[in-house]
């Protein structure tokens, strides 16, 4: 099995590493912040991040340095940075591990980013269910204040920063950056119509950067080791490593940090140890629940932004969900739609009405009450949602439907023709039902 | 042209103003884009996705309501790609819609019907079970039918952005999102009806007219609301001479389509079953209905007899400022020219005359600020903390200025800045709120004047220490506020009933005029002064000569004309033998005056009324008059805007418009008027007005100010007019007490409107909850209020708007309470002030309630 240098998971895999400020300090923590404050200008930092090719790890993969450079420099009044720790994408559990095990690495990244964009206030918006993560982060923030890495005049540089932890209340949509901003402002978590974008009209209508936890954590390493070093890792425009959360019937599910660009085959069969009970692989969700399904013939697609997109899906949040031969694809699509229907915020018509309608059809098919025109209805309704919604949620909710119909049409047809789910006889899945 | 941009819409090159949204630009190209959530009054939300268009070079379709037109943009809405997308959204909206159009009150004026007609296939393809929301009772006025809702949130956004009431929210999430209050309670809001009007579908409709009409059956008549001085345009919707509903059209009228509870729900007094439908006379102590001929002859004969025996000055006339300009003009003509008496007065005497006289004596006009000036002001100095109650639409202009345009609001009043849930309150959104001790606004005005007018051209002013002792406002706050006002680009000063209807009113308005001059906030674009009028035509009443001191056109009348209170006094002394009262009810309005006793001295009392009021009950002759819905004419609102009142229905029963009754009476008195309609009267009015009327040029205002500044002026220092409380009550607590107006009523008339009565139909004394708590009061508990003279019992209601240490009592129900309050008369304008006093509040003793318990 190929092995790679770990960057983000390195500290926490040290024996006895607790994530405390002392431990983080011993591991060289906050040296990047010191370097930035003493020797670099905000513009230097932005250029370094731009050159490194670092791209957002939350889902969209937007170049981080470019995002920072959109923040107007001469803006009077406050600017903000919001760190998106609302990790809610089904099948994704990397940020949680980072938060719980190396919180200071995130804080250091945030501090550097704030220095670069000229923000003196940052919010970490953490998923409500991350009770221990919130506790750990709050303790880390308090430690950092005491040590002078946060607060007024950090390391006598004249730069000041306050970080506030804001806990979500359980809505998936609040991971969408503009809904996240609404939520911090105390409003209902609903996405804003864009433009304007957060870079100019973000939190409280001020210039704002929203970055994912993993993105933030890469920043100190790039500062310490240079943009060339970072850019050399990975493949093409997908630089650096990425933590993939592998779940499903594999032998070793878990988080794996690998350079961008290894194949799905390597990830599933080498790192995750292959299929449990040596069953046949049937489908892969390559990048979180919002990504279109892959089939086994796509195992050699490379795990980088461009390759996955070219193959018709997206790298998304890095959640790789594996399904074996016993999994009913109609059930899988229905399961995902139940999630999306439950989480649709209800703001815009296609998503609000469409998610319920699609789910009703899928539930009928799965229950053996499908009609011949249902497949056409699923496809045409999905196309009425795609690209028509306020945020990317609409595209996300139709991806599992369109891709399962594309790859597994016969399975849908079998449900309709046999008037039952062909997988119902399977004991294991009957339990799952 | 400057500020214009060119774009191509559906192949047509169009030119629009910079900043125009594509959905508006489409109209220029003759295309109406389908939409639900977009509304020009609201910030865009882009949630319905119906107005989607294709913009060249942008891969995804864009919502036209959220996209600003840009130079060179190429936009298409007429291509299959766009139309398929719109049809798709429509399919989603119709999927769960109940399609219950036959029984939906919105049918015929429903945007969903209209756009579905254009954007949906004739056969639905929704084959699933429809979503059904549980029916929720939303209160007696508003019907909520969530199955029809398209979740556009226009109601929620209107309630927040325009009204600042925040009574509505979107509850739950996703496909079960619904509109409601946060804990599923019946609505308890301002009941402006805006949510009903802005709802594009039948999700929110009026229960007051539920199932009473189909929209295409109603006749709509645009007219002006009769309730307050704001001068709102509304449409009376009628079927067979019954007013069924009120509506208003977006952007139309001085109110631009916004209405308040009174305007929207206050209409059904018009067809009230207690309306007087025939003249009545009192014959040997018995009240009987008679013919017009009989009543008019009797009136003429008796008036002539009194005039012959006692001279014309034994006759007086009082007219309501709810009447039209034509009617007030004609009334004073009847009194002054036909009968020959100088004793003419109107409802403007209750306070507005203070503003009209003071402002016109300084500036030559009262027309000093318009609503546009409020909306565009950068600073608003308001002496009307209750404006959201008394003049709700003018308050909307302030909310727009403050919340949308970033104006600063300085509020000076005796209200608390706290607000009640779901009700807006201007002191709450003020940037600076000076909460003064009740009745001491006059001291604050002097304080501000002292800061700005160093030369004290008005004579010596009291010291800052005195001002602070009287009003509670210190020098620093006065300096700050005066500085903000004088430093504003466009400062608008607003004064309400706290100034005009309370002690020292005339002098206080003069002092405010001095203040505005010292601050440089008159005579420049966008700055000015607006005096709020409580009744719809108070300014008109003054301008038409409906007050003793002015002939039409603010031309000074010969001295000797008696004012309202003087006429009552003269009746008591037996000097006035006959009174002709149009729509006024002094028996009720001035309980302190023993009006009833005075009127019993009269030889003749003639009343012209809609209902048998307390005054009408005493009258020898009652002429049955009509409401605003049944007549033509003109009202002049508080800005000075003269607006057409249009007849919506035929007079109820055998009632007649006031102007017609005056004409008939003039005939009988031997001096016929010969007017065929109100337009003929108006022509004569216009000819009688000075050439500069209605608007005065900036130059004329400036020269008026110059000559005013040369005149010798003397500031009258306010004095505390509330007499000391006699004795006090053991165990009671002292409060400053104010009788005033509630949002949901206007005088007595509105208490005949069943819609408004479902909101408030009984008296209550309002107290701040923090004052109530230490007294152990619970809401609804009956308390004892000891007045300077006598005492009353009333239930308490809590409101965070009430200033600590004060009590508020709405004036619309029992007015027994006013009998116990001191009455003072303004030395200059003879305005009667009787709404304030010091009282003690005490719990009704435990012994009494225990006894009651034992009995029950």
Task: Among A204, A233, A262, give the residue marking a domain's end.
Answer: A233
Q: Is a pLDDT exceeding 90 seen at residue B2?
A: no
The answer to the question of residue A4 being in a domain is no
Distance (Å) of CA B506 to CA A43, B276, B442, B453, B528: 65, 37, 10, 20, 18
Mutate to test the interface with A, among B43, B48, B49 (most CBs of A within 10 A): B49
- Give contacts of B151 with chain A, Cβ < 8 Å: 346-347, 349, 352
Q: Kindly determine whether residue B170 and residue A354, on different chains, have CB atoms separated by under 8 Å.
A: no
B68 touches A: beta carbon within 8 Å: no
Query: How far apart are the C-alpha atoms of B570 and B830, rounded to whole Å?
Result: 14
Q: Chain A neighbours among B 145-204 (CB < 8 Å)?
A: 150-151, 170, 172-177
Task: Specify whether A122 is located in the same domain as A29.
Answer: yes
- Give contacts of B60 with chain A, Cβ < 8 Å: 387
Asked casually if ipTM beats, i.e. exceeds, 0.90, the reply is yes
The answer to the question of residue A240 being in a domain is no
- Give contacts of A345 with chain B, Cβ < 8 Å: 173-174
A388: closest CA of chain B, how far (Å): 7
Q: Is a pLDDT exceeding 70 seen at residue A427?
A: no
Task: Specify whether A360 is located in the same domain as A302.
Answer: no
Q: Kindly determine whether residue B93 and residue A349, on different chains, have CB atoms separated by under 8 Å.
A: yes
Task: Specify whether A67 is located in the same domain as A189.
Answer: yes
Q: Residue A217's pLDDT band (boundaries 50, 70, 90)?
A: very high
Comparing A153-167, B75-89, B121-135, B375-389, the range with the smallest average pLDDT is B121-135
Task: Specify whether A303 is located in the same domain as A376.
Answer: no
Q: Is a pLDDT exceeding 80 seen at residue A75?
A: yes
Mean pLDDT confidence for B228-241: 97
Query: How far apart are the C-alpha atoms of B782 and B350, rounded to whole Å?
Result: 31
Q: Kindly determine whether residue A353 and residue B150, on different chains, have CB atoms separated by under 8 Å.
A: no
Query: What is the model's pLDDT at position B458?
Result: 62
Query: How far apart are the C-alpha atoms of B377 and B177, rounded to whole Å?
Result: 39
Query: What is the model's pLDDT at position B472?
Result: 93
The answer to the question of residue A239 being in a domain is no
Q: B461 or B471: whose pLDDT is higher?
A: B471
Query: How far apart are the C-alpha atoms of A259 and B719, rounded to whole Å?
Result: 85
Q: Write the pLDDT tens digit of every residue in B528-559.
A: 999 999 999 999 999 999 999 999 999 999 98
What is the number of structural domains in chain A? 3
A385: closest CA of chain B, how far (Å): 8
The answer, yes or no, to whether the previous bond of B694 is cis (omega within 30 of 0) is yes
Secondary structure of chain B: what % helix, strand, coil (to 5)? 35, 20, 45
B111 touches A: beta carbon within 8 Å: no
CB within 8 A of B72, min separation 6: which ones? B6, B7
Question: What residue in B sits closest to A347 (Cα-Cα)?
Answer: B47
The answer to the question of residue A1 being in a domain is no
Q: Kindly determine whether residue A355 and residue B177, on different chains, have CB atoms separated by under 8 Å.
A: no
A387: closest CA of chain B, how far (Å): 6
B406 touches A: beta carbon within 8 Å: no
Task: Among A260, A293, A324, give the residue marking a domain's end.
Answer: A324
Task: Specify whether A367 is located in the same domain as A315.
Answer: no
Q: Residue B414's pLDDT band (boundaries 50, 70, 90)?
A: very high
Closest of A30, A256, A268 to residue A161, by C-alpha = A30
A392: closest CA of chain B, how far (Å): 12
Q: Kindly determine whether residue A384 and residue B127, on different chains, have CB atoms separated by under 8 Å.
A: no
Q: Kindly determine whether residue B47 and residue A353, on different chains, have CB atoms separated by under 8 Å.
A: no
Which candidate from A350, A355, A371 shows the least CB-CB separation from B49? Answer: A350
CATH code for the domain of A353:
1.20.1440.230
Q: Is a pLDDT exceeding 70 seen at residue B721?
A: no
Q: Residue A31's pLDDT band (boundaries 50, 70, 90)?
A: very high
Q: Is a pLDDT exceeding 50 seen at residue B762?
A: yes
Task: Specify whether A24 is located in the same domain as A142.
Answer: yes
Would you tell me how many other CB atoms lie within 10 Å of the CB of residue B508?
Answer: 27
- Give contacts of A342 with chain B, Cβ < 8 Å: 174
CATH code for the domain of A286:
3.10.20.600
Q: Kindly determine whether residue B49 and residue A346, on different chains, have CB atoms separated by under 8 Å.
A: no
The encoded tokens of residue B507 equal: 């002098």
Task: Specify whether A288 is located in the same domain as A209.
Answer: no
Mean pLDDT confidence for B168-175: 92
The answer to the question of residue A381 being in a domain is yes
* Torsion-angle region of B206 (φ positive above 0: left; ψ -120 to 50: alpha; else: beta): beta
- Give contacts of B120 with chain A, Cβ < 8 Å: none
A417: closest CA of chain B, how far (Å): 19
Task: Among A284, A302, A324, give the residue marking a domain's end.
Answer: A324
Q: Write the pLDDT tens digit of every residue in B270-283.
A: 999 999 999 999 98
Q: Kindly determine whether residue A353 and residue B125, on different chains, have CB atoms separated by under 8 Å.
A: no
Would you tell me how many other CB atoms lie within 10 Å of the CB of residue A423?
Answer: 22
The answer to the question of residue A5 being in a domain is no
Q: Kindly determine whether residue B129 and residue A360, on different chains, have CB atoms separated by under 8 Å.
A: yes
Contact A191, A176 (CB under 8 A): yes
Mutate to test the interface with A, among B127, B175, B178, B201 (most CBs of A within 10 A): B175
Mean pLDDT confidence for B57-62: 95
Q: Kindly determine whether residue A355 and residue B175, on different chains, have CB atoms separated by under 8 Å.
A: yes
Q: Kindly determine whether residue B89 and residue A387, on different chains, have CB atoms separated by under 8 Å.
A: no
Q: A351 or B698: whose pLDDT is higher?
A: A351
Q: Is a pLDDT exceeding 60 seen at residue B829?
A: yes
Give the residue numbers in A contacting B (CB under 8 Å), as ranges.
171, 188, 193, 341-350, 352-357, 360-361, 364, 371, 377, 383-384, 387-390
- Give contacts of B46 with chain A, Cβ < 8 Å: 193, 348, 390
- Give contacts of A352 with chain B, Cβ < 8 Å: 92, 151, 174-175, 177
The answer to the question of residue A59 being in a domain is yes
Would you tell me how many other CB atoms lie within 10 Å of the CB of residue A429?
Answer: 15
Task: Specify whether A226 is located in the same domain as A268.
Answer: no
Query: How far apart are the C-alpha atoms of A178 and A208, rounded to whole Å?
Result: 10
Query: What is the model's pLDDT at position B131?
Result: 96
End-to-end CA distance of chain B: 82
Task: Specify whether A182 is located in the same domain as A294.
Answer: no
Averaged pLDDT of chain A? 95
Query: What is the model's pLDDT at position B761?
Result: 85
Q: Residue B459's pLDDT band (boundaries 50, 70, 90)?
A: low
For residue A416, what are the domain limits?
329-432
Task: Specify whether A337 is located in the same domain as A402.
Answer: yes
Q: Kindly determine whether residue A171 and residue B93, on different chains, have CB atoms separated by under 8 Å.
A: no
Q: Is a pLDDT exceeding 80 seen at residue B418?
A: yes
Which candidate from A171, A344, A388 shows the least CB-CB separation from B175? Answer: A344
Q: Kindly determine whether residue A344 and residue B50, on different chains, have CB atoms separated by under 8 Å.
A: no
Distance (Å) of CA B651 to CA A215, B240, B270, B630: 76, 12, 10, 5
Query: What is the model's pLDDT at position B184?
Result: 73
Strand partners, B624: B609
CATH code for the domain of A86:
3.40.50.11540
Q: Write the pLDDT tens digit of every residue in B768-808.
A: 999 999 999 999 999 999 988 888 899 999 999 999 999 99
Q: Residue B723's pLDDT band (boundaries 50, 70, 90)?
A: very low
- Give contacts of A344 with chain B, Cβ < 8 Å: 173-175
A23: closest CA of chain B, how far (Å): 44
B334 touches A: beta carbon within 8 Å: no
Task: Specify whether A285 is located in the same domain as A180.
Answer: no
CB within 8 A of B124, min separation 6: which ones? B91, B94, B95
Averaged pLDDT of chain B? 93
CB within 8 A of B673, min separation 6: which ones? B330, B333, B662, B663, B666, B667
Question: What residue in B sits closest to A192 (Cα-Cα)?
Answer: B45
Contact B386, B576 (CB under 8 A): no
Q: Is a pLDDT exceeding 70 seen at residue A21?
A: yes
Distance (Å) of CA A425 to CA A282, A328, A428: 18, 11, 9
Q: Kindly determine whether residue A349 and residue B49, on different chains, have CB atoms separated by under 8 Å.
A: yes
A169: closest CA of chain B, how far (Å): 13
Mean pLDDT confidence for B606-615: 96
Chains A & B: contacts with CB separation below 8 Å: 91
Which candidate from A341, A347, A388 shows the least CB-CB separation from B61? Answer: A388
- Give contacts of B23 with chain A, Cβ < 8 Å: none
Q: Write the pLDDT tens digit of every residue in B578-608.
A: 999 999 999 999 988 889 999 999 999 999 9
B61 touches A: beta carbon within 8 Å: yes
The answer to the question of residue A145 being in a domain is yes
* Cα B400 to chain centroid, rounded: 17
Q: Residue B1's pLDDT band (boundaries 50, 70, 90)?
A: low
Q: Write the pLDDT tens digit of every residue in B355-412.
A: 999 999 999 999 999 999 999 999 999 999 999 999 999 999 999 999 999 999 999 9
Q: Residue B574's pLDDT band (boundaries 50, 70, 90)?
A: very high
Mean pLDDT confidence for A150-164: 97
Task: Specify whether A57 is located in the same domain as A157.
Answer: yes
**DSSP summary character for residue B338:** I
């Amino acid at each position: 099995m190929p092995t790679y240098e770990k960057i983000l998971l390195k500290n926490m895999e040290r024996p006895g590493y607790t994530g405390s400020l002392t431990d983080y300090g011993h591991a060289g923590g906050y040296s990047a912040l010191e370097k930035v404050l003493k020797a670099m200008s905000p513009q230097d930092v932005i250029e370094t991040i731009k050159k490194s090719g670092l791209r957002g790890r939350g889902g969209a993969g937007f170049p981080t340095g470019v995002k920072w450079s959109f923040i107007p420099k001469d803006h009077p009044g406050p600017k903000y940075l919001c760190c998106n720790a609302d990790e809610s994408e089904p099948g994704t559990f990397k940020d949680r591990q980072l938060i719980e095990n190396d919180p200071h690495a995130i804080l250091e990244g945030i501090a550097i980013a704030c220095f670069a964009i000229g923000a003196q206030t940052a919010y970490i918006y953490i998923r409500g269910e991350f009770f221990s993560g919130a506790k750990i982060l709050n303790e880390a923030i308090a430690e950092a204040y005491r040590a002078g890495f946060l607060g007024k005049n950090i390391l006598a540089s004249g730069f000041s920063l306050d970080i506030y932890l804001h806990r979500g209340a359980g809505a998936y949509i609040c991971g969408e950056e503009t809904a996240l901003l609404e939520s911090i402002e105390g409003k209902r978590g609903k996405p804003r119509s864009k433009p304007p974008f957060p870079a100019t009209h973000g939190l409280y209508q001020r210039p704002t950067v929203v970055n994912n936890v993993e993105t933030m954590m890469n920043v100190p390493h790039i500062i310490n080791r240079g943009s060339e070093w970072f850019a050399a890792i990975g493949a093409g425009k997908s630089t650096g490593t990425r933590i993939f959360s592998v779940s499903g019937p594999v032998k070793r599910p878990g988080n794996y940090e690998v350079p961008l660009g290894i194949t799905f085959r390597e990830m599933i069969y080498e790192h995750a140890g292959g299929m449990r009970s040596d069953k046949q692989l049937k489908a892969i969700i390559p990048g979180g629940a919002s990504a279109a399904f892959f089939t086994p013939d796509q195992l050699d697609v490379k795990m980088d932004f461009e390759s996955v997109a070219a193959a018709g899906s997206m790298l998304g949040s890095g959640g790789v969900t594996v399904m074996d031969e016993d999994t009913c694809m109609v059930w899988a699509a229905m399961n995902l739609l139940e999630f999306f229907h439950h989480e649709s915020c209800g703001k815009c018509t296609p998503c609000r009405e469409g998610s319920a309608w699609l789910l009703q059809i899928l539930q009928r098919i799965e229950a053996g009450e499908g009609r011949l025109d249902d497949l056409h209805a699923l496809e045409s309704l999905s196309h009425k949602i795609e690209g028509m919604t306020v945020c990317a949620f609409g595209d996300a909710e139709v991806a599992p439907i369109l891709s399962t119909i594309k790859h597994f049409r016969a399975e849908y047809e079998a449900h309709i023709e046999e008037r039952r789910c062909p997988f119902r006889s399977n004991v294991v899945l009957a339990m799952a039902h | 042209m400057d500020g214009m941009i060119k774009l191509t819409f559906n192949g047509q090159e169009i030119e629009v103003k910079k900043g125009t949204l594509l959905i508006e630009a489409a109209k220029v190209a003759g295309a109406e884009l389908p939409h639900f959530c977009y509304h020009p009054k609201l910030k865009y939300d882009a949630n319905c996705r119906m107005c989607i268009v294709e913009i060249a070079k942008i891969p995804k379709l864009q919502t036209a309501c959220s996209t600003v037109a840009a130079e060179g943009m190429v936009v298409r809405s007429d291509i299959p790609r766009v139309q398929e997308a719109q049809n798709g959204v429509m399919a989603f909206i119709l999927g769960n819609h109940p399609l219950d159009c036959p029984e939906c009150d919105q049918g015929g004026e429903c945007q969903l019907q209209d756009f579905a007609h254009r954007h949906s296939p004739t056969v639905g393809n929704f084959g699933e079970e429809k979503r059904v929301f549980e029916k929720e009772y939303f209160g007696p006025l508003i019907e909520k039918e969530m199955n029809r809702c398209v979740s556009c949130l226009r109601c929620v956004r209107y309630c927040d952005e325009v009204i600042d009431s925040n009574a509505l929210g979107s509850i739950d999430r996703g496909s079960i999102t619904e509109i409601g209050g946060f804990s599923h309670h019946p609505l308890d809001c301002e009941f402006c009806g805006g949510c009903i009007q802005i709802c594009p579908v039948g999700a929110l409709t009026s229960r007051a007219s539920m199932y009473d009409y189909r929209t295409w059956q109603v006749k709509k008549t645009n007219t002006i609301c009769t309730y307050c001085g704001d001068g709102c345009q509304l449409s009376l919707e009628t079927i067979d001479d019954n007013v069924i509903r009120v509506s208003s059209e977006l952007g139309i009228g001085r109110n631009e389509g916004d209405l308040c509870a009174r305007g929207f729900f206050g209409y059904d007094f018009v067809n009230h079953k207690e309306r007087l439908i025939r003249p009545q006379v009192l014959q040997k102590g018995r009240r009987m209905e008679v013919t017009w001929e009989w009543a008019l002859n009797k009136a003429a004969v008796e008036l002539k007899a009194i005039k012959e025996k006692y001279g014309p000055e034994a006759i007086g006339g009082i007219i309501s400022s709810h009447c039209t300009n034509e009617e007030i003009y004609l009334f004073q003509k009847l009194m002054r020219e036909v009968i020959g008496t100088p004793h003419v007065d109107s409802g403007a005497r209750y306070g507005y005359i203070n503003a009209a006289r003071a402002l016109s004596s300084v500036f030559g006009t009262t027309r000093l600020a318009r609503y546009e000036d409020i909306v565009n002001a950068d600073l608003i100095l308001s002496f009307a903390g209750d404006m959201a109650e008394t003049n709700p639409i003018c308050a909307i202009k302030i909310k727009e200025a403050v919340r949308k345009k970033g104006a600063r609001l300085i509020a000076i009043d005796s209200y608390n800045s706290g607000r009640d849930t779901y009700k807006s309150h201007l002191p709450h959104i003020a940037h600076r709120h000076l909460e003064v001790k009740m009745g001491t606004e006059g001291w604050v005005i002097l304080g501000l004047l002292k800061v700005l007018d160093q030369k004290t051209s008005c004579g010596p002013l009291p010291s800052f220490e005195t001002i602070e002792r009287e009003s509670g406002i210190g020098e620093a706050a006065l300096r700050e506020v005066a500085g903000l006002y004088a430093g504003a680009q466009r400062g608008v000063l607003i004064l309400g009933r706290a100034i005009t209807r309370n002690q020292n009113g005339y002098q206080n308005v003069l002092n405010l005029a001095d203040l505005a001059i010292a601050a440089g906030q008159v005579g420049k674009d966008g700055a000015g002064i607006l005096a709020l009028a409580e009744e719809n035509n108070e300014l008109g009443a003054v301008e038409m000569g409906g007050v003793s001191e002015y002939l039409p056109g603010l031309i000074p009348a010969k001295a000797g004309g008696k004012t309202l209170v003087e006429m009552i006094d003269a009746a008591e002394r037996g000097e006035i033998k006959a009174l002709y009262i149009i729509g006024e009810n002094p028996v009720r309005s001035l309980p302190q005056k023993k009006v009833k006793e005075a009127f019993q001295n009269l030889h003749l009392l003639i009343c012209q009324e809609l209902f048998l009021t307390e005054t009408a009950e005493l009258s020898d002759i009652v002429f049955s008059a009509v409401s605003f819905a049944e007549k033509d004419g003109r009202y002049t609102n508080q800005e000075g805007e003269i607006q057409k009142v249009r007849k919506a229905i035929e007079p109820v029963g055998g009632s007649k418009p006031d102007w017609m009754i005056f004409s008939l009476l003039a005939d009988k008195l031997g001096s016929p008027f010969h007017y065929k309609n109100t337009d003929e009267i108006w022509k004569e009015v216009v000819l009688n007005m000075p050439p500069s009327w209605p608007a005065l040029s900036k130059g004329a205002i400036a020269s008026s100010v110059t000559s005013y500044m040369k005149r010798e002026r003397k500031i009258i220092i306010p004095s505390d007019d509330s007499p000391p409380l006699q004795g006090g009550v053991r165990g009671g607590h002292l409060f400053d007490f104010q009788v005033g107006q509630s949002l949901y009523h206007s005088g007595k008339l509105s208490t005949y409107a069943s819609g408004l009565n479902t909101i408030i139909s009984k008296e209550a004394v309002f107290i701040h909850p923090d004052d109530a708590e230490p007294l152990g009061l619970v809401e609804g508990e009956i308390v004892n209020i000891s007045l300077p003279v006598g005492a009353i019992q009333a239930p308490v209601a809590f409101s965070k708007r009430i200033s600590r240490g004060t009590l508020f009592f709405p004036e619309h129900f029992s007015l027994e309470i006013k009998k116990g309050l001191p009455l003072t008369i303004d030395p200059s304008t003879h305005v009667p002030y009787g709404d304030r006093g010091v009282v003690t509040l005490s719990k009704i003793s435990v012994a009494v309630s225990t006894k009651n318990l034992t009995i029950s």
